[in-house]
Amino acid sequence: MAPQTGFWDRLQDEVRTGYERTRRTTKRTVRIGVLRVDLLSLRRDRSRALSQLGERAFQLWNGGSLAVLAGDDEALRLKSLVEGIERCIADKESELQSLRKEAEEADASRPAENASGGAAPGNPDDPPAERQTGFTESGGPRPPRMEGMNGIS
């Protein structure tokens, strides 16, 4: 007897597909969150290192020996630290961009699935989706514009 795809088999396939999609989306979202926290921490570290480098330069300047800044061991250490942090930031930002691109591609491939899923239409008073999902330079979500608020913020 040939196996027949019945109601329960189709339901099991739909549940499995939904589970896998949710698992991938959740994993990607968590990774994006971790990267954003890492970037925030790295930017703070870079600010501290730049501040220390500036303090060292100021000390040398006040001591009348600013010319030795390029050979100062502490200044070279701090410069190397800043450069290393900037490389880490660039790597993390690149990974974050690729994850966001992957998420956008996954979202773009889903409208056909959602159209048959009977999703409720959005509220016509909501701002367009691109304003709701934008990101700032630091990687955080961009707040929606509050048009029509008559100057109230």
List, for residues 61-106, the tens digit of each pLDDT value: 998 888 888 889 999 999 999 999 999 999 999 999 999 998 888 8
Angle subtended at Cα 94 by Cα 27 and Cα 99, rounded to the nearest 5 degrees? 25
* Domain coverage including residue 59: 22-103
- 93 phi and psi, to 5 degrees? -65, -40
Q: Which of 117, 126, 135, 41 is CA-nearest to residue 85?
A: 41
Whether 109 is covered by a domain: the verdict is: no
pLDDT at 132 over 50: no
Whether 91 is covered by a domain: the verdict is: yes
pLDDT at 150 over 90: no
Whether 37 is covered by a domain: the verdict is: yes
Q: Which of 47, 25, 33, 30 is CA-nearest to residue 102?
A: 25
Domain count, the chain: 1
Whether 116 is covered by a domain: the verdict is: no
What pLDDT was estimated at residue 148?
Answer: 52
Whether 8 is covered by a domain: the verdict is: no
Whether 17 is covered by a domain: the verdict is: no
> In angstroms, rounded to a whole number, what is the distance separating the alpha carbons of residues 50 and 43?
10
The pTM (predicted TM-score) of the whole model is: 0.60
Q: Which residue has the tokens 């979500």?
A: 141
Q: Which amino acid is at 129?
A: A
List, for residues 22-55, the tens digit of each pLDDT value: 999 999 999 999 999 999 999 999 999 999 999 9
Whether 10 is covered by a domain: the verdict is: no
Whether 6 is covered by a domain: the verdict is: no
